[in-house]
Structure formats: structure tokens, C-alpha cells
Copies of this chain bind each other. A is one copy, B any other.
Amino acid sequence: MSKGKTKGKNKPLLRLEELGKDILKQIKKKKNPEIAVPIRALSNVEFDEKSKTVRLGNKISARYFFHIAHAKKFLQTLEVAEASHGLLKEDKHASLRDVFYMVKRTIPGTKVNVVDEQSESDSVIEDLELITSNSREQLNINANKNGSVAGEVIIEDKGDKIDWGKLGSGGWSIPSNVENIKFKKVKAKYILYMEKAAVWERLHEDKFWKKQNCIIMSSQGQTTRGIRRLLQRLGSEYKLPIYVLTDYDAYGFYIYSVIKYGSINLAHISEKMAIPSVKFLGITSEDIEKYKLQKHLIKLKDHDLSRLKQLKEYAWFKDNKAWQKEFAAMKKMGAKAEIQALSSRGISFISEKYLPEKIKDKEFLD
């Protein structure tokens, strides 16, 4: 069942219907129909010192039906709202790409399509997140599916009881939408999130989560919204610390930054996505020396340096001494390194020495 149906009196459905009714009312009053949409642009994005996340500001713009620059976007907004409304009614979920095809049609009597590119429907979906105060997932529109999880956790999902500790070498495959999962039992002292599935397999084979009493979670590449929401829900509902394990490179730091502070293009949904409490576990420049990884350094390329420069200037890192020191150390070293470089010290060095030691000594970057 969709969250819309179980909680908050069908909230997303109601919100979409309110939107429709409001427009109808305007039409009956013979007004030029308008929708108020908060502005999602860099000019309206700020780092909120209080919540420690990237947030949208207060700027709002009106989208009019009778307006040569607004009419199409107005139509798109209502078409996507209708698609989401249908999904919620039918209790079904669609991907961003599905929604694009669902609303893609030619306006009768013209040669104009409602949408030509997925970016158009995507953008309207983000508007609807703001207009309805519901996330895309709550509107039954899913992002990508990726990632695995293991630990002493029992959940209930779609009527199934699933024990994350009894799923062999594979683990549970994290869905794109985790809004309706119910946690039945969570026995863990912390969550370890890593960017690489191969590292997850290493830790899983070594029974790391059992020995350390933790939950291990990974993606392969980007951190999907499903993973971020799962981390956030577990972290907040069970007050579990979350540690992030990435390569020692600017992209690894960026993965951490997005999980912790949110990102500019998802600033409007930071409260649901950002997790200000997460800590960076490694790999750090200190680790390179301490664990003798110097031999496995890889020279920085131009794109590494420019990404590093960007990170350095982010509002949330600008006054963070520990991170500025870290950025400077990487620049000075002129090199990056991979998590797997630890394998040069022995295949289970990471699970038997590196991680237990760092976690015990609380050697985090915050």
C-alpha cells in the first residue's frame, strides 16, 4: 500500500486534488489560472546554518496559464499531476522515464508535444514535490534502484517479513522507494555506508556486520535516493550513527557531501534527503601514511583538481578546518587512492584492522 493510503489521510492524493480544485476555482472566477511555485535555481538556494543542510530560499514565482512563456509549463504541471494522481489511485509506482512517456502526447490540432524531453517532466515532478510538499516517492514516482544491505534487521515490506541477516552472500536488494518499509527489529550500533559493492562483498564475507554489530549498505557508483532515504530513516528512527566509506578522492568526498548536506538540485527536498549527522570515516590523508598506502597513490588529473577546488569553496566546507586541512593535504600530495589499496595489506585487513581501529578510536572527519 502506498504511504498516501496509510498515513496522513491520503496526503499526496489530497494535495494533488487541492491543486486541481484551486485551479478550477480560479477558472470559475474568470481569473487567469496560476500556480505558485517556489523557485528552484541557484539564486534561491542557500546553506542553512541551523539545519546544516542545503535549503531552498523563500522566493516564489507564479506560473500563469495565459502567458506565452508559462502556458506550456502550466500544462505540463497539470499533466504530470494527473499522472501522479492516477498512480496513487491505482496504488502503482512509475519511474521518471515512465512518467515522461505517460505525459508525452501531441496536443490535438497542433504539432506541439506536451513534453519533448524527459528533463521537462523531471523538472515538473520536482515542482510538484514543492507544490504538494510531498517527495517524488510519496507521489509514487521512483528514482533508480541500486544497492545491497545486510545486518541484524528485520523489516516488513509488501506483506513480507525480511531478515537482512539471512540472505546469503547477496543481501537484500534495496528498492528505489523505501517509504513504506516498516522496521520490525533493528539491532545495530551504527551503519556503515560504502560507495563500492566489491567492498561490501568483502565485509559481508568476513561477517563484519555480525562481529561489529552494525548494518552494512552499499551502492555501486551514485547513492540512489532509495539508499539515502533508507540511511536517513534508519539513522533518525533508531538514532544510529552513520559512517561513510569512500575512495580517497574528490569524488568520494563529494559522495559524503551530498549525503550529509544535500545537493543544490535537490535543495527543495533536503529535509527528506540530507543527513547532517553522517561522518566521514575514510579513506583520509592520515590513513595514507598510517596504513602505508603511499605506494598505491594515483596522480591527480585536471578533473580531480577542479572538483577539489569546488568542494573547498562550498559554503558548508568553507569554515570547516578539518576538511580544509584534508583538501590541502590532498592537493599537496597531488594524489588519490582507492579503498581497495588496503587489500595490499591483506585481503581482510580492512575488516579486521582498518575499520575496527578507526571506529573504536572515533577517527572521523565531520
* A145 touching B95, Cβ below 8 Å: no
Q: Report A213-233 CB contacts with B as 1/0, cut-off 8 Å.
A: 000000010000000000000
Name the residue of chain B whose CB is nearest to the CB of A100: B340
Binary B-proximity of A47-75 (CB < 8 A = 1, otherwise 0): 00000000000000000000000000000
Binds B, one of A37-45, A199-207, A316-324, A354-362: A199-207
A35 interfacial contact with B, CB 8 Å: no
How far, in whole Å, are A100 and B102 apart by their CA atoms in the complex?
Answer: 47
Please tell me if A160 contacts chain B, counting CB pairs below 8 Å.
yes
Stretch at the interface among A165-173, A261-269, A277-285: A165-173
Chief secondary structure at chain A's binding surface: mixed
15 further interface pairs, Cβ-Cβ under 8 Å (given A92-B206, A93-B202, A170-B174): A92-B205, A94-B347, A95-B198, A95-B202, A101-B338, A104-B344, A142-B198, A144-B198, A144-B220, A146-B197, A149-B173, A158-B168, A168-B172, A169-B175, A171-B175
In the assembly, what is the distance between CA of A197 and CA of B104, in Å?
A: 22
> Chain B residues near A175 (CB, 8 Å)?
168-171, 201
Give residues 96-140 of A contacting B (CB, 8 Å): 97-102, 104-106
A176 contacts the other chain (Cβ, under 8 Å)?
Answer: yes
* Given A94-B347, A205-B92: A166 touches B171 (CB 8 Å cut-off): no
Indicate the member of A169, A175, A177 with the most B CB atoms within 10 Å: A169
Verify if A157 is at the interface (C-beta below 8 Å from B): yes
Inter-subunit contact B90/A144 (CB<8 Å):
no
Nearest CB of chain B from residue A362's CB, rounded to whole Å: 27
Contact residue among B147, B158, B206, B340 (Cβ-Cβ distance under 8 Å from A169): B158
- Kindly report which residue of chain B lies nearest to residue A93, judged by CB atoms: B205
> Contact at B197–A145, with CB atoms within 8 Å?
yes
Q: Does B166 contact A344, Cβ atoms closer than 8 Å?
A: no
Name the residue among A93, A162, A173 with the largest chain B CB count within 10 angstroms. Answer: A173
